[in-house]
Chain A
Amino acid sequence: MIRKLLGATLALGLTTLPALAEYPEKEIQGIIQWGAGGSTDTVMRAVTPHAEKALGGTIVMQNVTGGVGAIALNQVANGDADGYQILFGAENPLLYKVMALGDKDYSDFTPINILARGIPILVARPDAPFNTYPEMIAYINAHPKDVKFGSTGPGGLPSVVTAMINQKTPIDVTFVPYDGDGPALTALQGGAIDVMPAVLGAAVEGIKGGTMKTIALFDTEASSALPDAPTIVSTNPEFGDLLPWGPFFGVFVKKGTPDDIVAKLTAAYAEGAKAEDFLALMDGRGFKMMNISGDEAQAFLAKWQSTTAWLVQDAGLTKASPADFGIPKP
């Protein structure tokens, strides 16, 4: 009996031993929600080497694409909550439930770091017959359906920015769908569409080169990447209650991951996000650094989800009401 007990204790001791070892004791798998070369991919691959240094471990990055990122999200959510799988994601999962794309979102995860957010900007082709936001609205009202807006499908940045505009002044325009803001901005330069709500980083070089022009920056303050671009609140202060808003990049682990591991990863990414060359890259691409974690990140995610889900709900773009999932109205 004693021998059996002894054996059991020994066995128990042996099995629990690895858990006591210092995390990370093996390679960590990093799952990127979007394809290689995209903005999420670039941001994550830029920050991770610095975080690895702070962590003293290796993170092997892998792109798992498809289903607007749902395939990657499910893969990590179905794995173990042991900190050896990290999800590198963007804002999209917060709309999965209302868009009927999946039954999981970031509430099944613990945020490690919300690194940065993009700044929405409204751009037009250079020869469009308007130069400012009020002029654009006046032109649209005078020529219903004539102005062509680029869009990227319900739930994407253009649909949210359009929903914001519609909430303040309903507009009657034609929406031409593209699969991403890159192709849409190309079409804008070729004159296939007139106006495109895009993320600043994607449009900044075109604006500088004169192949497109700024209508308004959808933010509360001017951007250092494009200091002359007028903010929407400078002409239309009513947008103040919806802004700042923007697509974001975040690092997540599955909910239930031990606190000490979360703390270690949080410290590593907070440190990594301060690296000189990473900051330079983010600045150059027009992203606004956030570098927040813990409760602050949780609160940001909750607010983002509530604002956005209800905006697209009111625009009639959702497949299910946010209320069904307990997403509070802002």
Chain B
Amino acid sequence: MMDVINNFLIPFLDLKLLSLVALGTFAGIYIGAIPGLSVTMAVSILISFTFSWDVLPAISLMIGIYMGGVYGGSRTAILLNIPGAPSAIATALDGFPMAQRGEAGEAIGITTVMSFFGGLVGIIVLAAAAPSVSAFAIRFQPRDYMLLAVLGILLVGSLSGDSLVKGVFAGAMGLMIGSIGLDPLTMDQRFTFGSTAMMGGISFIAVMIGMFGVSEALIQLHSMKTPGVKQVINRIVPSFGTIRKYLPLSLQSSAIGVIIGALPGTGGDIAALMAYDHAKRVTKNPEVPFGKGAREGLVAPETANNAAVGGAFIPMMTLGIPGDSVTAIMIGALFIHGLHPGPMLMVEQPHMFWFIVGCLTLANVFMLIFGLTGIKIFVKVVEMPRTVLIPLILLLSIVGAYAVNNSLTDVYWMLGFGVLGYFMRLYGYSLGPVILGVILSRLLDDNWRRAIISDQESLPRLMHGIVTSPLSLTLFLAVIFIFVSKTPLWAMIKRGRA
């Protein structure tokens, strides 16, 4: 036990490690906030940068960046309606309307505190229950991932705004975009028209930046004359009462985040969207409607995506299996530094586990501190005149799209999708479903094929597998329930009972 505490406290007591975690978290917030600069990218650059370092400082810096980066994505989502990372897409839905009402400071405050809370829950689960959670996560079969993806597709209902039909259309378009490129399972080319540049598919980040960034800039051209929204800053840190009010929702969202984060095939982006949907479902009477600036719409995705960080470490630390793309790179880093991430890591080097838990906790605290300072300067972004803001958004979008793969092709895609996104918004199509479709496309496509191939291409066998596995059956019933609850049939049943 003393050993555990000692190793947990290493990053707190060693000044060098402490400052590296702080530096990483600080840098992470800004890297996360800039669309196109991703945590994955930053951590992979750090690998070569920290090659000659000792393992502890290298890990401290990476964990700081990871924690800060997941949170940082919310900044631009709230202030500019451009999610800095895929996991902040849901944050923009209600965060941006809040900023437009002059409540950017409050929105960032809630986001920060809730991210801290979610991060903490993730860390606690990692520390207390890692082996059992990973044993559960690894049980997910291809058919379960498929059902999870179908469950994700049903989120279109929550994301489509006023018209469900338009939402479904946008979602289907997203699925289609996601299927372009070399099919990873058969190496066949899909919709590439024989072009090598298309073989890699369309970068999902480029689509996201275009759809949100460029289209936002174009939309704002309509209101060149209106001045920026004056921000009222009287309350940044939410009161204890507010936190207590959202406590049940944030606990539920954290649970979603940890589980989705721990699954090797899914990460914070899907977790945040699912939590947003969950919030919409359980919140009976929001003070402000969802999509217009509901606080619940910030609380849920932000707790979930930070809880997913701790979740992603669960399979990594217990089995050497990455929970997401960042932990995949960190596994590589551990190898380089002579450790052997795998099932034996916890047995042979338990100190590493507690050191990482310590770093995560520390990074979470720094995230809270850095997140709550400097908000006053940040919200000025929204008050900027349009003539400055619009070129700034465009510049950020272009740099971001280029940075993804250092490829000019991505910049063209980004601009193209920006114009498309502008017209879609003009005609009342919400863009959330497009991104949802792109995120889920591979998950659904690959796992459906894996599931049916595993069952020798027989649908009855697949169904038999689903009804005999408790996990699959639960997911299957959830899909049915959510689907039926959105149809008129459900309303009829409910009325009949009442």
Contact = CB atoms under 8 A, between A and B. Distances in A.
Which residue of A42, A66, A175 has the most chain B CB atoms within 10 A of its CB atom?
A: A66
A176 B453 contact: yes
Interface stretch (B79-87, B330-338, B353-361): B330-338
A296 to B, nearest CB: 28
B383 to A, nearest CB: 38
A178 B44 contact: no
A174 B449 CA distance: 13
Interface in A109-145: 145
A70 B194 CA distance: 13
Contacts of B47: 36-37, 42, 45
A185 B331 CA distance: 15
Contacts of B186: 153-154, 177
Interface in A155-179: 155, 174-179
B446 A64 contact: no
Contact of B328 (A37, A66, A68, A175): A37
Contacts of A101: 182, 187, 199
A99 B187 CA distance: 8
Q: Which size class do A's interface residues fall under? A: 35 or more
B15 interface: no
Nearest to A285: B335
Nearest to A155: B187
Nearest to B44: A36
A236 B430 CA distance: 61
Interface residues of B, number: 57
Interface stretch (A3-11, A81-89, A201-209): A201-209
A64 B48 contact: no
Interface string A40-59: 01100110010000000000
Contacts, number: 151
Interface in A218-277: none
A42 B227 CA distance: 51
A148 interface: yes
Which residue of A63, A193, A205, A206 has the most chain B CB atoms within 10 A of its CB atom?
A: A205
A65 interface: yes
Interface in B31-52: 40-41, 44-45, 47-48, 51-52
A190 interface: yes
Nearest to B264: A186
Nearest to A317: B187
Interface in A172-203: 174-180, 182-183, 185-187, 189-193
Contacts of B319: 189, 206, 209, 211
A148 B405 contact: no
A36 B41 contact: yes
A177 B141 contact: no
Contacts of A65: 200, 405
A133 B320 CA distance: 26
Contacts of A148: 454
A286 to B, nearest CB: 11
Interface stretch (B204-212, B341-349, B364-372, B473-481): B341-349
Nearest to A208: B344
B196 interface: yes
B139 interface: yes
A158 to B, nearest CB: 12
A245 B456 CA distance: 31
B401 interface: no
A37 B44 contact: yes
A36 B44 CA distance: 6
Contacts of A153: 183-187
A190 B40 contact: no
Contacts of A67: 182, 196, 199-200
Given A176-B454, A205-B345, A208-B340, 11 more contacts: A36-B44, A37-B329, A37-B332, A45-B48, A66-B405, A74-B196, A177-B449, A186-B315, A190-B138, A209-B344, A281-B338
Which 6 A/B pairs are nearest by Cβ-Cβ distance?
A66-B200, A205-B342, A209-B343, A36-B44, A67-B199, A37-B329
17 contacts: A41-B332, A42-B332, A64-B406, A68-B187, A71-B196, A101-B199, A153-B185, A177-B185, A177-B446, A177-B453, A178-B450, A189-B319, A206-B343, A208-B342, A208-B344, A209-B347, A281-B335
Interface of A: 35-38, 41-42, 45-46, 49, 61-68, 70-71, 74, 99, 101-102, 145, 148, 153-155, 174-180, 182-183, 185-187, 189-193, 204-206, 208-211, 280-281, 284-285
